[in-house]
Chain A
């Protein structure tokens, strides 16, 4: 994705602050990200807002309901709608979660953890290839936060790596999710990151979270990014080629100045680590 002025940091386009963002001189993301599920088939006021946003910013898409890890068949009708949407808005990056949100013909609208198992890898690899063939573009798969493994036969990093490497897809590396999982499952976040297929990372997510007990952090996207996640971000970007970075803020939206402060901080970090680059390939 080609970004202007050597800026890398985008923000999630939320209806809660879409009007403010479109008129803002404070918040200046390099791009916006949206969930196609929230916009496909929508007309009226919101369609106008989306069209205005598309005139002002490049758009990336981050899906919620494709359910790449589901035992159910892929919803091809829905996939073709996504394809049409992506083409219409000239979307250069389409990502989805390495999880499942639909099972036994019922959508759940949240991200459930896939068993880290060899047969699940094969199943998902085949599905990613099918998605990429239909969309005629690479899919970027995101490492998700999870609060329990289920029937695991391998570790998370191996599971992700095998899927990415065998399917040929790209990876959306969610740095906050790595931090959340490292806390919840007591592993070293930096070591985890070095085990991932970093050459396939095409996109980064950053977000805030909420620690609800001594042992559990919930990935809420409703708080500011914490210091330790910024540190992990700096560590991670030093291992990567320049890619777009998204600040996710889905709830508890603060003043736009606060969001811009986070964006500026991330921009400062990547301007050091990626200083020789002038554009994102």
Chain B
């Protein structure tokens, strides 16, 4: 049998609901003039957290649209994470689920929000153990060890390159490699072509460069293996300089 009586639970629920919606509740024995402080404090924490996580979207959307979006999110969504800094992910998921981008006729909204969330997530995510590797290996024939703290993402709009005001009519296939530098925790973004995204995806799968390029030469109908290899190795060398490719995997 619950120790908390229904009446007490109801009072707590009504106050909590008021903080979410701002709709004045029926409560017993309260100082009515002071209730709004709770609504204000709760809402401010929410809105500050979301605005900090999505500064580009916040600046791009007109104030009245942004305010309504955040208000509706807080009123309708039940935040699940006990860690407030993870809550913006729920905001993004809410926008996707409710198809806000269609409602607002902003076809790149989901991509933009996801890009902004990824930057935050990449900066804060738990450390991932690095693989063991050999820096003196054969970068063409060995399986390469990658910085494990990375994400390769496909966007329908180049939200990682252009400002939101420049995105109209730019629908296409865009790929972003985002990774975290081990020593200083900085997040780096790298726009990559579909070919290089394919190479990265295959490297993730543990395929060596020789095999990847042999496949890519046919897949992308390049039919010029040596030229492909020459360009790909410049890309690989760049990733090595950036210490995204660590060396040859040794285990």
For residue A238, CB closer than 8 A to chain B, the reply is: no
Evaluate contact between A102 and B82: CB separation under 8 angstroms: yes
- Knowing A71-B12, A150-B27, A150-B28, say if A112 contacts B4 (CB, 8 Å): no
Q: Is A117 an interface residue when CB atoms closer than 8 A count as contact?
A: yes
Q: Are B7 and A147 in contact (CB under 8 A)?
A: no
A191 to B49, CA, bound (A): 39
On whether the beta carbons of A108 and B16 are closer than 8 Å, the reply is: yes
| 8 Å CB interface, B48-107 against A | 49, 77-85, 87
> With an 8 A cutoff between CB atoms, is B35 at the interface?
yes
Query: In the bound complex, what is the Cα–Cα distance between A42 and B149 (angstroms)?
Result: 13
The answer to whether B4 touches A44 (Cβ under 8 A) is no
Interface centre among B4, B29, B149 (most CB of A within 10 A): B4
B126-A41 in contact (CB<8A): yes
Q: How far is the CA of A149 from the CA of B12 in the complex (A)?
A: 11
Which chain A positions have C-beta within 8 A of B81?
107
B contact set with A: CB distance below 8 Å = 2-5, 7-9, 11-13, 15-17, 19-20, 27-32, 34-35, 37-38, 41-42, 45-46, 49, 77-85, 87, 123-128, 149, 180, 184-186
Measured between beta carbons, the chain A residues less than 8 angstroms from B41 are 110, 218
Cβ–Cβ < 8 Å partners of B49 in chain A: 109
Instruction: Knowing A110-B38, A216-B34 are in contact, say whether A150-B3 is a contact too (CB < 8 A).
Output: no
Whether a CB of chain B sits under 8 angstroms from the CB of A37 is yes
CA A107 to CA B74, docked complex, whole Å: 10
Using CB atoms, name the residue of chain B closest to A111. Answer: B41
- List residues of chain B with CB within 8 A of the CB of A78: 82
Given contacts A115-B11, A123-B3, A123-B4, A110 and B45 within 8 Å (CB-CB)? yes
Residues on the B chain within 8 Å of A108, using CB: 16, 19-20, 42, 79
Those 9 A-B pairs whose CB atoms lie nearest each other, nearest first:
A45-B185, A103-B16, A106-B78, A65-B82, A44-B185, A43-B127, A148-B31, A123-B4, A147-B34
Which residues on A are within 8 Å of B, measured CB to CB? 37-38, 40-48, 64-66, 69-71, 75, 78, 100, 102-110, 112-115, 117, 119-120, 122-123, 126, 147-152, 184, 216, 218
Complex alpha-carbon distance, A37 and B85, angstroms:
9
Bound complex: CA of A131 vs CA of B9, how far in Å? 21
Q: How far is the CA of A71 from the CA of B84 in the complex (A)?
A: 20
B123 and A45 contact, CB distance less than 8 A: yes
Q: Are A43 and B125 in contact (CB under 8 A)?
A: yes
Cα–Cα, bound, A115→B29 (Å): 10
Report Cα–Cα, A184/B30, bound state, in Å. Answer: 13
| A151-B29 contact, Cβ under 8 Å, with A104-B16, A106-B78, A119-B5 | yes
Q: How close is A230's CB to chain B, nearest CB, in angstroms? A: 25
Q: Of residues B27, B124, B149, B180, which shows the largest number of chain A Cβ atoms within 10 Å of its Cβ?
A: B124
CB <8 Å contact, B8 and A120: yes
Complex-state Cα separation, A149 to B32, whole angstroms: 10
- B78 in contact with A75 (CB, 8 Å): no
Q: Is the CB of B184 within 8 A of A65?
A: no
Which residues in B have their C-beta under 8 angstroms from that of A42? 124, 126
User: Does A150 contact B11, Cβ atoms closer than 8 Å?
Assistant: yes
Residue in B closest to A219 when the chains form the complex, CB atoms: B41
Contacts of A149 in B (CB 8 A): 29-31
Are B37 and A147 closer than 8 Å at their CB atoms?
yes
Instruction: Please give, as numbers and ranges, the residues of chain A lying within 8 Å of B28 by CB-CB distance.
Output: 150-151
Contacts of A70 in B (CB 8 A): 12
Contact B42–A120 (Cβ < 8 Å): no
Contacts of A123 in B (CB 8 A): 2-4, 8
Q: Across the interface, do B78 and A151 meet the contact criterion of CB distance under 8 Å?
A: no
A40 CA to B86 CA, complexed, in Å: 11
Bound-complex Cα distance A113 to B8 (A): 12
B residues within 8 A CB of A109?
A: 42, 45-46, 49, 79, 84, 87
Kindly provide the distance from the CB of A272 to the nearest chain B CB, expressed in whole angstroms.
Answer: 36
A112 partner residues in chain B, CB cutoff 8 A: 12, 15-16, 19, 38
Which residues of chain A are within 8 angstroms of B11 by Cβ–Cβ distance?
115, 150-151
Chain A residues in 8 Å Cβ range of B42: 108-110
